[in-house]
Structures are given as structure tokens and as C-alpha cells.
Structure 1
């Protein structure tokens, strides 16, 4: 029996240095299938290069919240502002590609029905935190207008909150795959490996992998490119502190940023 391994990555956020470190680790493990759960752009300085690289190496690419709102042609951003800088760093064809990405992707592995999306079963903009209640948990496994009809998943993997975790309850498994380019609390990039086979009786495993990289080199690139919010970016990729609480002068709270 041949076991298949799939790497799940998410939330690269323009951090090409972290992405390349994670891709090198994936390749070193002999993994050739990579599924991307979205948020390619924003926060980091090289969204354009990240989009091109993910289009090259990822078998599946789905949409994140930043991929939806940042290139939205109906949104107006102030001249000289951070959002406008991140949007204009991208090419027009990338704006179109990001906004046309699918919402979710369903597949089977070791007899388990698996669904991946960015944030929740209803919207890329609806956030489900680690400290959720049972209603929010069960809602992650539902079919909605966004997911479409199909077999209900027993395993769901998502990103968005940049907090990697695993939860198994009520016969279902929920995974947050973590963030490659903007990991919080522990700023070391993290991704997830699923291992299984076509055989429904085959073993199934979930592994989290943290990959050290040169975050100071990434920060130097951002500085050289004139990227915005450098102190906030440093707070996130060096110290793992969300920039929202950093700029507000508040102590970081792990689950509700």
C-alpha cells in the first residue's frame, strides 16, 4: 500500500523568505503535492513573487480574505497608505487570479472526506478562533452556499487565524494548518502534512512542521523595498505579536487578535 502525503500551507502573506524555507523542507521530505489555503498577499513585501511561486508549485490554490479584498477594484484605498502599497505591488493579472480562486476544495484520503477552505464554511471573512463553542465547531463541517453541496466532510482544515491546532470531537476532526509567513505567538513558520491512501482502511495521520528561517533577512528585504508598517511587520515575524495590538499599545492576547 502506497501512502500519499499532502502538504497544506496557508497565510504566506508576501513573505517569500519563509515560503522558500517551507518549500525546501517539503521537497526534502519527498512531498510533491501542496495545497494552499490562501492569503498569499498583504503584510509582507513580496506578494507578487509569492503569487507566482504558489501558482508554480501548488496543486491546489484557494482564496483567502486578503486575496478577495485587497485587489477588489471597487475598494478605494488612501494614497500613500499600506493597503494601496500592497495592492500596487501586485500585477493586474494577479488581481484577477486572486479574486477568481475557488472557495474550497474537497478530497478523500484513507476513507475520510476532507475539505479545505481559508476561514470558515460560510465566508473567507468570517473568522473562527481556537476558543470557539460547539456551534461554531459544528458549523465548520456544514454545506453552505459558499461550499456548495457534496458529501459532508469529517475532516476540515483551515488557516486564517495563524494559530496551528488540532481538535477532534463528535466524530469530526478540525485542523488549523497555521501560517507560513506570519505565524503568531511562535513566529516560526508552520505547515501541516496529511498522510493517507486510497484504501479506506489505510492509516491516516496529521503532522505539524515548524521550519526555522532567516526572519531578519526578510525584514531587511521589506526595508529595502520601502514596504509599509515595518515596525508592525517586525513585531509579527520576529516576535510573533499581532501588529494590531502592537500599534494599539496593548498586550498581546493569543486567541482574540
Structure 2
């Protein structure tokens, strides 16, 4: 059976400039299958376009926390969330609600599980600096994952920080973020390589890809459409520093800040 390559993307967050750059890179590498780990819209200016592109290009998309709460009827305490929700069409919102919480596959005899944030909830966050119990919990069988063999490889998104960690023949990997990376300001995705189905005798690989994109062009789109929180968005895209740390670090983007 032939060796196949599968692109694992996550956390597009309505950043179409980054998404199109990543998908162009996927195509240039001849990768035929794209799987999406959720958080398609929200935080960026073009959530509806990101939903459309995901439906067009991704064979499977699992539900993220933004995909879960943002289609709701509201009202939301944060007016920015209302803006991002209203930018979506009714069909977009219905599609996001319908997404599965996890997806399993077998590659080169290894059981692979994909979900957005954790094995228990799309709202439970597991960072790169996690405890042993948190690591073990990512491989658990839960109502979210459904029944199935214990995975050999778990890939998730949510924390926007790409890494691959192996312990005792179990590998936990984070795909980082296409549209809102918080480790360095380039889009990331993973490439899974092996024989779908297959056996342990078949080749197997998991690699990280970083894709530069035009950050300033994406910020210009957000400014042009009047997106809320555009200054925080610009700083995050330029620096890969989470907005909760901007004030204490003195990080600003006065060139895009709304005038008062």
C-alpha cells in the first residue's frame, strides 16, 4: 500500500491570509488530505470565508471551543464575540454546531486520535508545560472520544503552541495554530506520513511545518472591516504574544488602534 501524507491544521480563527498560505504550502508538497482540529472562526476578520474554505478542503473537521460557543444565540457579554458570530451565515453556524468532537484513524498500524483541546472537553486546556496526569489523560477513553482502542498518537490544537512529545511509546502532539500562533509569528501545521491502515512494519513520520505569511496584509483586512479588538489582534500576529500579556509587557499597535 502507498505511503500517504496528511496535513493536520488547527486554529485558523478567521485568518484567511495565513490559511491560504498554509493550503498553498500543502498543495506545493503534494499532500492530498487535510484534517482540521477546530476553531475555524472567531478572533480574526473572515470567519465565514474560513468556514467555506474548510468545508471545501478538509476531509474531517473536529469541533473546537470557539466552534462550540460562538454559533449560540447569545447575548454575549463580549461585544466582539457578537461581531464574530454575526459575520458568520446561518449555514456557517449550523455547520459548526454539527462538527464531531473527535476523530480516530489508523496510520501504519498506529491508532491516531484527533480532538481540539482534551479528551474530556473542548474547554479543558492542556499546555506544553503539563503534568504527568494531564499527559496521561489525553490518551483516556471518555464520553468525548467515544469507545475505541487507546491511541498511540494524540494530536490536538487549542493552545496555539506546536510541539511533539513522546513518553513510553505514546506521542502527544500539538498542531499549533494557522491563524493565531502564540509560539512564533509564522503559521504552523503538522504532516502525518504513513500507510492508512497499514502495519507497524510500514513507514511512519510526524513533522512540523512553519509557513510565513503576510501578517500586515491580514491586519489591514481586520482594520478595513472594522473588526473589534483589532489592536490586540495586530500585536498577537506580529509578536506571537497572547493578548493577556500585552499590557504588562507594554505591547501596543497604535498604528491600527481605533481613534477615540
* TM norm structure 1: 0.94
How much has 1:250 moved relative to structure 2?
A: 2.2
Question: What does 1:76-155 align with in structure 2 at a 5 Å threshold?
Answer: 76-78=75-77, 81-155=79-153
How much has 1:78 moved relative to structure 2?
A: 4.8
Distance 1:78 1:133 in 2: 32
What is the match of residue 253 of structure 2?
none
CA deviation profile, 1:92-130 (whole Å, cap 9, x unmatched): 111111011000000000110000000000010000011
Distance 1:39 1:157 in 2: 14
How much has 1:238 moved relative to structure 2?
A: 1.1
SS of the equivalent of 2:147 reads: coil
- Unaligned regions of 5+ residues in structure 1, if any? 253-257
SS of the equivalent of 1:6 reads: strand
Question: What does 1:204-219 align with in structure 2 at a 5 Å threshold?
Answer: 204-219=204-219
* Residue 58 (structure 1) aligned with residue 58 (structure 2): yes
How much has 1:241 moved relative to structure 2?
A: 1.1
SS of the equivalent of 1:181 reads: coil
Aligned positions, number: 248
Distance 1:122 1:251 in 2: 33
Deviation beyond 4 Å, 4+ runs, structure 1: none
SS of the equivalent of 1:250 reads: helix
Distance 1:26 1:15 in 2: 17
Q: Does the CA-based 8 Å contact 2:106-2:198 persist in structure 1?
A: no
Question: What does 1:1-257 align with in structure 2 at a 5 Å threshold?
Answer: 1-73=1-73, 75-78=74-77, 81-197=79-195, 198-200=197-199, 201-246=201-246, 249-251=247-249
Distance 1:199 1:67 in 2: 33
Distance 2:165 2:184 in 1: 19
Distance 2:28 2:103 in 1: 26
Distance 1:178 1:78 in 2: 28
Distance 2:144 2:77 in 1: 31
How much has 1:206 moved relative to structure 2?
A: 0.7
- Unaligned regions of 5+ residues in structure 2, if any? 251-260
